[in-house]
Structure 1
């Protein structure tokens, strides 16, 4: 999921810090998703998708299924 988030951030010219401010999710938490390759909770995934203006389906990694 995080690879898709990073692509959107890059395309939109946003930083992790700015995403943190938009979502209310601490930037440390967002960085941990990236560095540890862990997935956010459903609530945080919704906040991220909303802040980026995309659906959860667009963030989903279909290779996991």
Structure 2
């Protein structure tokens, strides 16, 4: 999952801080995803992420 998020961040010139502000998700969640401490975001956070990035939830399959 992190690879897809990171790809979208690169395409939009975002870092974790900007992504956190854009989505309303604490940047520690993204750090945990990147490090592998968590494998998936919760459903509410997935909705926030897709809304903040302006993409469909299907993009994360």
With normalisation by structure 2, the TM-score equals 0.88
**How far apart are the structure 2 equivalents of 1:35 and 1:53?**
25
RMSD: 1.1
- After superposition, the C-alpha distances for 1:1-52 in whole angstroms (9 at most, x for unaligned) are 2211100100110111101011221111111011115100011011111111
Counterpart residue number, 1:33: 33
Q: Do residues 55 (structure 1) and 56 (structure 2) align? A: yes
Equivalences for 1:1-40 in 2 at 5 Å?
1-36=1-36, 38-40=39-41
Which structure 1 residue ranges, 4+ long, deviate > 4 Å from structure 2? none
In structure 1, the gaps of 5 or more residues are: 61-65
> Which has more radius of gyration?
1
**How far apart are the structure 2 equivalents of 1:15 and 1:22?**
11
3-state SS of paired residue (1:28):
helix
Q: How many residues align?
A: 60
In structure 2, the gaps of 5 or more residues are: none
